[in-house]
Structure 1
Amino acid sequence: MKNIKIIVFLFCIIPFQKNTAQVWTSDNGDGTYTNPILHADYSDPDVVRVDDDYYMTASSFNCIPGLPILHSKDLVNWKIIGHALVKQPPFETYDRVQHGNGVWAPSITYHKNEFYIYYPDPDFGIYMIKAKKAEGPWSEPLLVKAGKGLIDPSPLWDTDGKAYLTHAFAGSRAQIKSLLVVCTMNPEGTVVNNDEVMVIDGHKDEETIEGPKFYKRNGYYYIFAPAGGVPTGWQTILRSKNIFGPYEKKKVLEQGSTAINGPHQGAWVTTQTGEDWFFHFQDKDAYGRILHLQPMKWVNDWPVMGEDYDKNGIGEPVTTFKKPNVGKKYPIEAPAESDEFNEPRLGLQWQWQANRQINWGFPTSLGYLNLFCNTTSQNIFNAPNLLLQKFPAEEFT
């Protein structure tokens, strides 16, 4: 009992602090930022701008709620505003822990005043959800293309009203990999047709090419695609005047002399002032895939990312750089971290390891979270009722 009394006494003398740990700040407060902009596992990020607002989503795998939605005003400071996936189908599968499965690299797009997210489940196919507001509510997931190993979808609505989708393949399920295809969709984006055209076979020079993002600019169709593998790869750009190719290719971002390994897979964003920027991740082992922001410009209709330090024509990641010009200055923000559980709802930083069950616990209006014991799992690794959040920094309290 003495130990318990000591613990209670120590807890009581800790002064109350606002619910922010201030453990990682990319914004230097002097008009510059230092990468990473988020030192947390926002794997395979995609970003879209709508007017003066920026929205991001990322892979969530088996964590629920899934498909986090983050918001920013300046591309550097971000906060979580919701999740697009409240419960992950098929329910009989994701009511159990499925480490590494579930939501792989998603894409977020804004089309005809609606947000669209296409996300792959490598074991079931490609799903689509949409919403009028990024905060939600989001529609129920619609399986728009069934199949094993279909991953990394990205849509494109062309100026003539036709719709297309590009995607890659997971060799572990599809038995093929290092390939990208383009296929057609119905104009509503609810049906993806089985008329795939292969636009690149990466086995020779672009091994493990995947994660495509589809864009159109100055009459060119572009596919931004990472290659070379997650820890050691680079960013490849494909371009063509014809949506089905043939495509030219160019390597535009690599690790080079920097310490930023595998800089690839992300999103191109143009600010309201006309600047171009590119988001990508860096694989950092147990810390996950942390988020970086690179300056970008166009030269001869090819994107140039980062800084070409060795003058070989390929950009390298920057560490500290001038913040994007978005027309205004905004305060420093960070995703939610610490929590006193004072609200009668669960904070957006928390996720379960599987679809939530009603007997796992409840928030209360009394300043605490009530959790129940569950002994159905043989070990903690496979316990679905673990309430967790991402590591927010290398060191944190």
Structure 2
Amino acid sequence: MTATYRNPVLNADWSDPDVIRVGDDFYLTASTFTKVPGLPILHSRDLVGWTIIGHAVTSGYADVRPGCGVWAPSLRHHDGRFWIFYGDPDVGIYQVSAADPRGPWTAPHVVKPGSGLIDPCPLWDEDGQAYLVHGWAKSRAGINNRLTLHRMAPDASKVLDEGTLVIDADLLPGYRTLEGPKLYKHDGVYWIFAPAGGVEQGWQSVFRAESIFGPYEDRIVLEQGGTDVNGPHQGGWVDTRSGEHWFMHFQDRGPYGRVVHLQPMAWEDGWPVMGDKGEPVAEAALPVLGDVPGEPATSDDFAGPALGLQWSWQADPDPSWWELSHGTLRLTCVPGPEDLRDRGAVLGQRLPGAPCLVTTTLTLSGEGRAGLVVLGFTYAYVGLASTSDGPVLVCGDAEPVPVDGPVTVGARIGDGALVTFLADTGEGLREIGAPFQATRGQWVGAVLGLFAAGSGTGEAIFEAFTVDIERRSPWTSKGRGQ
């Protein structure tokens, strides 16, 4: 039997992915905006099964700033080190590097300061010269739809010139919002892979030139066509050790965020051809055979020495917010904004792109409120709140229910990210409150979160956090290593 996979291979919000191969290993990173830690590092041996192995950025902003922070990274391996370049649209272009992708990573270093500088990508050429291409955010810079190229110091410490406008997409018929450039050199030709048209309705283009400064000619190489994969948006090109070529990109799925697809890629007449004659494929032959499947972690029994790598905070965390103890997560009911969207002290992870059941057991002591939240532009939660008569179970407009001791709370997330909250007060999990339609956040999908809020005197204890996903393996039933 033929070993195949099906898309998406990462069925959750792994926005703006970039991917490289080093030996037999593949590595991927993605945008994280102001989540802390940021810049996740994922590892794979076959481009289909991925696990989280670390993060390249461990701090961020002190307050919640939706849509700010780490935008559209590029991942490269050069001179024995792993490099990630990313844009913070309010600060400039940063880089971090590490000898080991699991870390430690260097502190973020500004390569080019400025407002509206986004989506950077480096290239170290054979002659030792280094270059950096980037896009522009109109919300900060007042311009977009164009790409600027710099000569860069080989140690990536700074750019060496004012920059050259190498692609002005205002001059290209039909182009809008050209962004997310990835810079490559292949068979002596310079390539910029870049999407345009917007994340929901756009397409993927490539540009080629004999000189890195152009002139570039363009071709659309991946678009929705007759498929249900809207947008097909920015990503990265990677090869296998056996010489096959692949392209990973995202698809915007609203509350589920930007899920990642894998397209076969071939070279024909000097141009890349992606998917099935330029349209995304639903499945294809597995790139590499014989490896053990993997997937990013979701559930957490809180028994380890640290939180699982799937978790992040909405802003820089304070150590006083949380503690792992004897297989439980203890969250202090810390002060902060009433609105959970504005609280840094919400511990979250990506909403799975398939229906799932999420449960955890919660105990509340002292003053405050705590629970399980589904959070985007809007949010709702099920949890416990203290009263003068003791804790009560709360969920939206539902009548509060007095409780005594631990309560299992949960959320059943169905098709379309419709959420039904659940609670067990002694008769098994039952529905509570009205259904809630999960919504996206600013450039991100909804998150599953845990929180505890109050004056600082209360404490919430969460037992194992379990995510039971309706399994739709990226490997098909035709087998893997046959």
Contact 1:166–1:180 (8 Å) recurs in 2: yes
Q: Structure 2: how far apart are the matches of 1:128 and 1:39?
A: 28
**Does residue 241 of the first structure (1) align with residue 204 of the second (2)?**
no
**Does residue 352 of the first structure (1) align with residue 313 of the second (2)?**
yes
1:282-315 CA deviation, whole Å, 9 max, x = no partner? Answer: 000010000000000001221000012xxxxxx0
- The size of the alignment, in residue pairs, is 355
Matches within 5 A, 1:230-269: 230-269=199-238
1:76-130 CA deviation, whole Å, 9 max, x = no partner? Answer: 0000000000112xxxxx1100111110100000001100000100010000000
Tell which deviates more after alignment, 160-169 or 201-210. 201-210
SS of 2:90's equivalent? coil
Shift of residue 199 of structure 1?
1.3
Q: Structure 1: how far apart are the matches of 2:164 and 2:153?
A: 16
Larger radius of gyration: 2
1:141-179 CA deviation, whole Å, 9 max, x = no partner? Answer: 001110000000000000000000000000000001000
1:35-60 CA deviation, whole Å, 9 max, x = no partner? Answer: 00011100000001000000000000
Which protein is richer in strand relative to its size? 2
Q: Structure 2: how far apart are the matches of 1:251 and 1:183?
A: 25
| Superposed CA RMSD | 1.0
Question: TM-score, normalized by length of structure 1?
Answer: 0.88
Matches within 5 A, 1:14-53: 31-53=3-25
2:67 aligned to which of 79, 86, 100: 100
Shift of residue 30 of structure 1?
5.8
Q: Structure 2: how far apart are the matches of 1:306 and 1:117?
A: 27
**Does residue 179 of the first structure (1) align with residue 146 of the second (2)?**
yes
2:106 aligned to which of 139, 145, 149: 139
Q: Give the aligned residue type for 1:388.
A: G
Tell which deviates more after alignment, 370-379 or 120-129. 370-379
Q: Give the aligned residue type for 1:320.
A: E
Contact 1:122–1:173 (8 Å) recurs in 2: yes
Q: Structure 2: how far apart are the matches of 1:62 and 1:30?
A: 42
Aligned to 1:316: 279
Shift of residue 278 of structure 1?
0.2
Aligned to 1:5: none
**Does residue 62 of the first structure (1) align with residue 62 of the second (2)?**
no
1:310-369 CA deviation, whole Å, 9 max, x = no partner? Answer: xxxxx0000011111x3x4112211001111111211101000001112211223x1111
SS of 2:134's equivalent? strand
Matches within 5 A, 1:160-309: 160-203=127-170, 204-308=173-277
Aligned to 1:335: 296
Shift of residue 264 of structure 1?
2.1
| Deviant stretches of 4+, over 2 Å | none
Q: Give the aligned residue type for 2:333.
A: C
Gaps of 5+ in 1: 1-28, 89-93, 309-314
Q: Structure 2: how far apart are the matches of 1:100 and 1:191?
A: 26
Aligned to 1:371: 331
Contact 1:122–1:151 (8 Å) recurs in 2: yes
Q: Structure 1: how far apart are the matches of 2:350 and 2:55?
A: 15
Contact 1:232–1:262 (8 Å) recurs in 2: yes
2:347 aligned to which of 361, 383, 387: 387
Contact 1:81–1:348 (8 Å) recurs in 2: yes
SS of 1:172's equivalent? helix
Q: Structure 2: how far apart are the matches of 1:279 and 1:84?
A: 20
Gaps of 5+ in 2: 358-482
Identity of aligned residues (%): 52
Q: Structure 2: how far apart are the matches of 1:192 and 1:336?
A: 38
Question: TM-score, normalized by length of structure 2?
Answer: 0.73
**Does residue 77 of the first structure (1) align with residue 49 of the second (2)?**
yes
